[in-house]
Amino acid sequence: MTNDDLRLAERLAAAAGAAIRPYFRAACSHETKADASPVTEADRAAEAAMRQILAVERPNDGIIGEEFGAERADARRVWVLDPIDGTRSFMTGRPSFGTLIALLEEAQPVLGLIDQPIVGERWIGAVGQATRFNGAPARVRNCPDLGQAQLATTSPYLFSDAGLNSFEAVRMGVANTIVGGDCYNYALLSIGQLDLVIEEGLKLYDFAALVPVVAGAGGVMCDWQGQPLDQHSDGRVIALGDPTLLTQIVQMIGRA
């Protein structure tokens, strides 16, 4: 991973945003067929725009995208693309969805970018570097007491029954829980506005970009056993601003 990769990721995000913006809040009728909904069209246009740049700039790197699948997925370097994380938010006109771009090297996320193209907010993280939010350093906040923590999750309806039990065990111990948000929750955690995000059912393209953003801001992102996230993770994730709480949270989840 080089600074040139960081600059390329920003160009990918800019291209995705330009492809997405015309579709945001564009249709407000139920007439549109499901397989050609504005969100699907925006998703495809944005991923195609990013793939076009990668084909020219990084012809040997692999690509795993939400819309168009995998190419050279066994390459040493693989770009992971989720043009619109937060489909429901996009569909209902909320500017809290995000474009997610990650670079894996040997299956480990080494670069991550979260872009909100309507409001104009961008987070970028890379191994060994401080995460930046619109160019300025991003930093998690301390929260050594779980009882003071602000917890977020996109929706309680996205958990399995067993997963919901674990989530509820933690929720009972925090100060407040806020729902909704998608990738934006992890972005807010990286600037010290949230302390904890717990989710289940995430795909590689949902979480790969988040890991370097959270880690580069001083937080930790891992699975429900406290293990690092990689290509083979089961989609159950914890993001934590203050790593000192990790053991306690993993225990609460395990006992539930």
Q: Which parts of this chain interact with a second copy (CB under 8 A)? A: 25, 28-30, 88-89, 91-96, 119, 139, 141-143, 145, 148, 150, 152, 154-157, 176-181, 184, 188, 191-194
* Beta-carbon count within 10 A of 226 CB: 16
Q: How far is the CB of 50 from a second copy (least distance, A)?
A: 25
Cα dihedral 17→22→24→25 (10° resolution):
170
Closer Cβ to a second copy, 128 or 157, answer by number: 157
Closer Cβ to a second copy, 110 or 143, answer by number: 143
Gap between the Cα atoms of 37 and 30, Å rounded: 9
Q: How far is the CB of 109 from a second copy (least distance, A)?
A: 24
Would you give the distance in Å from CA 8 to the centre of its chain?
A: 18
Closer Cβ to a second copy, 38 or 125, answer by number: 38
> What is the arrangement of strands in the sheet containing 62-65, beginning at the earlier edge strand?
69-71, 62-65, 77-85, 98-105, 108-116, 121-126, 132-133, 136-137
Closer Cβ to a second copy, 78 or 213, answer by number: 213
Contact call for residues 224 and 231 (beta carbons, < 8 A): no
Q: How far is the CB of 196 from a second copy (least distance, A)?
A: 11
Closer Cβ to a second copy, 142 or 160, answer by number: 142
Contact call for residues 47 and 83 (beta carbons, < 8 A): yes
Q: How far is the CB of 153 from a second copy (least distance, A)?
A: 9
Q: How far is the CB of 119 from a second copy (least distance, A)?
A: 6
Q: Which of 91, 94, 124, 86 is nearest to 210 (CA)?
A: 124
Closer Cβ to a second copy, 165 or 176, answer by number: 176
Closer Cβ to a second copy, 180 or 226, answer by number: 180
DSSP codes joined into one string, 118-161: TTTEEEEEETTS--EETTEE--------GGG-EEEES-GGGS-H
Contact call for residues 120 and 20 (beta carbons, < 8 A): no
Q: How far is the CB of 118 from a second copy (least distance, A)?
A: 8
Q: Nearest 5 degrees, angle CA 205-CA 177-CA 82?
A: 10
Q: How far is the CB of 178 from a second copy (least distance, A)?
A: 5
